[in-house]
Amino acid sequence: MRKNSRLPNLHNLGIHLRILLIVNLLAVMASILLSKQLSEFLPLLAQLSALVQPVLLLSMLGLYVLYPFLCKLKYWQGIAAIILLEIAFTSLVFTFINYYFVSDSNTEILRACLLTGIVTAIVLYYFYLQERAYSPAIAEARLQALQARIRPHFLFNSINAVLSLIRSQPKRAETALEDMADLFRVLMSENRDLVPLAQEISLCHQYLDLEKLRLEDRLKITWQIDDMPSDAMIPPLILQPLLENAVYHGIEPVPEGGEIIVKVYTKHKELHIIINNPYSPENDHHSGNKMALKNIKERLKLHFDLESSIKTEAKNKRYEVYIRIPFGT
pLDDT of residue 197: 92
Write the CA distances from 79 to 5, 39, 120, 192, 268, integer angstroms.
12, 39, 9, 19, 32
- Using only C-alpha atoms, the chain has a radius of gyration, in whole angstroms, of 26
Choose between 39 and 141: higher pLDDT. 39
CA dihedral (305, 310, 311, 316) in degrees, to 10, reads: 170
Please, what sign has the CA dihedral across residues 137, 142, 145, 150? negative
Task: Give the mean pLDDT of 46-60.
Answer: 86
pLDDT of residue 44: 84
**Residue 1 confidence class, pLDDT cut points 50, 70, 90:** very low
Buried b (16+ CB within 10 A) or exposed e, 36-52: eeeeeeeebbeebeebb
CA 118 to chain centre: 28
140: nearest Cα among 5, 328, 296? 296
Choose between 131 and 78: higher pLDDT. 78
Q: What distance in Å separates the CA atoms of residue 306 and residue 264, rounded to the nearest whole number? A: 20
Q: Strands 258-267 and 270-278, how do they pair?
A: antiparallel
Contact of 281 with 249, CB cutoff 8 Å = no
**Residue 284 confidence class, pLDDT cut points 50, 70, 90:** low
**Residue 224 confidence class, pLDDT cut points 50, 70, 90:** very high
Write the CA distances from 325 to 131, 134, 266, 291, integer angstroms.
18, 17, 9, 20
Count other Cβ atoms within 10 Å, centred on residue 7.
22
Residue 201 has pLDDT above 50, yes or no: yes
Write the CA distances from 117 to 31, 88, 199, 249, integer angstroms.
18, 10, 40, 52
Choose between 289 and 55: higher pLDDT. 55
Of 78-92, 173-187, 195-209, minimum mean pLDDT range: 173-187
Residue 289 has pLDDT above 60, yes or no: no
Write the CA distances from 43 to 33, 50, 130, 136, 325, integer angstroms.
13, 11, 34, 45, 42
Residue 186 has pLDDT above 80, yes or no: no
Residue 38 has pLDDT above 70, yes or no: yes
- Quick one: which H or E segment has residue 290? helix 289-304
Choose between 320 and 293: higher pLDDT. 320
Count other Cβ atoms within 10 Å, centred on residue 151.
13
pLDDT of residue 265: 92
136-326 maps to CATH 1.10.10.1200: no
Task: Give the mean pLDDT of 23-50.
Answer: 85
- Quick one: which H or E segment has residue 275? strand 270-278
191: nearest Cα among 280, 290, 90, 303? 303
The model carries a pTM of 0.62
Q: What percent of the chain has pLDDT over 90?
A: 14
Choose between 287 and 221: higher pLDDT. 221
Residue 143 has pLDDT above 50, yes or no: no
- Quick one: which H or E segment has residue 58? helix 41-70
pLDDT of residue 134: 62
Residue 261 has pLDDT above 90, yes or no: yes
Question: Following DSSP, what letter does each residue of 240-264 receive, concatenated?
Answer: HHHHHHIIIIIITTSTT-EEEEEEE
Residue 329 has pLDDT above 60, yes or no: no
Task: Give the mean pLDDT of 104-125.
Answer: 80
Choose between 264 and 162: higher pLDDT. 264
- 183 phi/psi in degrees, rounded to 5: -60, -50
Count other Cβ atoms within 10 Å, centred on residue 274.
16
Q: What distance in Å separates the CA atoms of residue 124 and residue 132, rounded to the nearest whole number? A: 12
Residue 69 has pLDDT above 70, yes or no: yes
pLDDT of residue 259: 93
Task: Give the mean pLDDT of 36-43.
Answer: 83
Residue 71 has pLDDT above 80, yes or no: yes
Average pLDDT along the chain? 80
pLDDT of residue 139: 54
Domains of the chain, residue spans = 13-134, 136-326
